Chains A and B, each alone.
Chain A
Amino acid sequence: MEQIKSPSWSKTFEEVGNQVSFMSGFIRNIFRTGFEWNELVRQCYMIGYNSFKLVGITGFILGFVMTLQSIPTMKVFGAVSFVPGMVSVSVIREIGPVIIALLCAGKVASGIGAELGSMKVTEQIDAMEVSGANPVQYLVVTRIIACTLMVPLLSVMADGLAICGGYFGSNISGHVTAVLYFNKAFHALAFGDLLPSVIKSVFFGFAIGFVGCYKGYNSNGGTESVGVAANSAVVSASLWIIVLDAVAVQLTSIFVYN
């Protein structure tokens, strides 16, 4: 019993220790001189712009589908006029940030994991380190910061498009003027809805970047470990997003809605 248990425990602690030291390396290197601004911009472009279409379409359809799904039910109660508000509140508070973050986990975290993983396996990261350059500053810091910046932007954009999608949906089932729709949609919202959702997305973005970089940077072995890194980056990033979301909901219900 003891023999079976102890290695897995020590592995877990080792993993946690590695993550903590990776994190402290990240933080130390943010403030080091020679910040890689150009690379940061390039990463923001790669992460933000390249996910733009996927996230935009998803956001739009999200609002559209939610509206179409809820109209028949709301009709029974004669509450169709509440649909715009309901859609905007539920998308902005919860569904938007989480779905977009999960999408980014699939697209961005796996990409980072695979890219850094293959750089590690082909000794490119070692080569950088041995030449006296700083691979953490160049590769890790830029990617984590880019994710932390871009994921909230993407999810705010998706939220906006979801409301547009909702307008489109309600126009299919009956005519609503744009002014009326958006009035209803925004009236239901408060600043206390948007801000926690953006803050949440910042943490989601950080988790995506951090997990992707950690898994990629620490992959070792042959080419198959690149696949393992990409895969486990998606799995852990998704898990982190769900866990962080649960914490965030608790915190906002204590501090904001009370």
Chain B
Amino acid sequence: MANNEMEAAIENTGKAQTTSAKTAGEVVIRLEHLKKSFGSKEVLKDINMELREGENLVVLGRSGTGKSVAIKCMVGMLAQDEGICNVFGQEVKTLSENDLKSLREKIGFLFQSGALYDSMTVRDNLAFPLTRVRKMKDNDEINTLVEEMLENVGLLDAIDKMPADLSGGMRKRIGLARTLIMKPQIMLYDEPTTGLDPITSKEISELILTMRKKYKTSSIIITHDIACAKITADRILVMNDGIFIAEGACNELEHSDDELVRSFFK
């Protein structure tokens, strides 16, 4: 009974979200001439991109080109020096503390390292955003949600384990579950498959697709893993040295004129 009500509520919010994003012209994230330096080091030089609703956008680029910095600007963890960073029609840099908090509730961020809270069990890790952000009080309701989400990532057995007892791939998947449990409208994946074996990588890539189908999220996926990009991407952007040098579908970029772009696909 309570479950049905909740599902209905989630569906309703889902609908409301879809319509509000549509009125914003279906562009959920827009970066224009974004620049960011650390000291004298210019990391982002001129970043322009758009993320559309329901789209999986893959960002490729060598290590240290500023991919992580770019998505950190989108959630207000870093502030750009110049340019526009617009999420759901709001300029992130100028948001007040409360507005930023409610914006962040709509965005899921999967960290490169998984970033599980290592003093808590897997269950508490997943329950943390529910109790602290959604302010849910009912333990049964929380448990059902946690179990459902763990089942989605195929790790229901690990529910009472500590993060230290999990393998790297399991941690990534738990991290993914913890992010998705908030039913975000935008997912930002920072190298979801790096450091995993090809089979686990493939599982995670397919999980990303499944989750999009299930929760209708728009995603930015940062990766070096071309196999992951091929599975998940609707569109690929290639970043080098603080700017995007190429854009297109996977098979277009594979036969690009640019040596550097082609080299990613070898």
Contacts and interface: CB of A to CB of B under 8 A. Distances in A.
Contacts of A128: 117, 128
A130 interface: yes
Interface string B62-93: 00000000000001010000000000000000
B42 to A, nearest CB: 20
Contacts of A134: 132
A34 interface: yes
Contact of B115 (A124, A132, A138): A124
Nearest to B100: A132
A127 interface: yes
B111 A126 contact: yes
Interface string B101-142: 110110101011101111100000000110011010000000
Interface residues of B, number: 24
Instruction: Determine chain B's interface SS by DSSP, over half rule.
Output: loop
Contacts of B182: 131-132
Contact of A123 (B104, B111, B129): B111
**Residue from A123, A129, A132, A133 whose CB has the most chain B CB atoms within 10 Å:** A132
A18 interface: no
Interface residues of A, number: 16
B137 to A, nearest CB: 11
A121 B153 CA distance: 26
Contacts of B178: 131
A126 B101 contact: no
Interface string B2-27: 00000000000000000000000000
Contacts, number: 55
A127 to B, nearest CB: 4
A126 B102 contact: no
A98 B117 CA distance: 35
Contact of B128 (A119, A129, A130, A133): A133
Contact of B113 (A123, A130, A138): A123
B143 to A, nearest CB: 17
Contacts of A127: 109, 111, 115, 117
Given A122-B113, A123-B111, A132 B118 contact: no
Contact of A34 (B115, B117, B135): B135
A185 B104 CA distance: 60
A130 B117 contact: no
Given A124-B117, A126-B77, A132 B133 contact: yes
Contacts of A115: 119
Nearest to A33: B135
Given A124-B115, A127-B115, A132 B109 contact: no
B129 A133 contact: yes
9 contacts: A122-B115, A122-B118, A124-B116, A124-B117, A126-B115, A131-B105, A131-B132, A131-B178, A132-B101
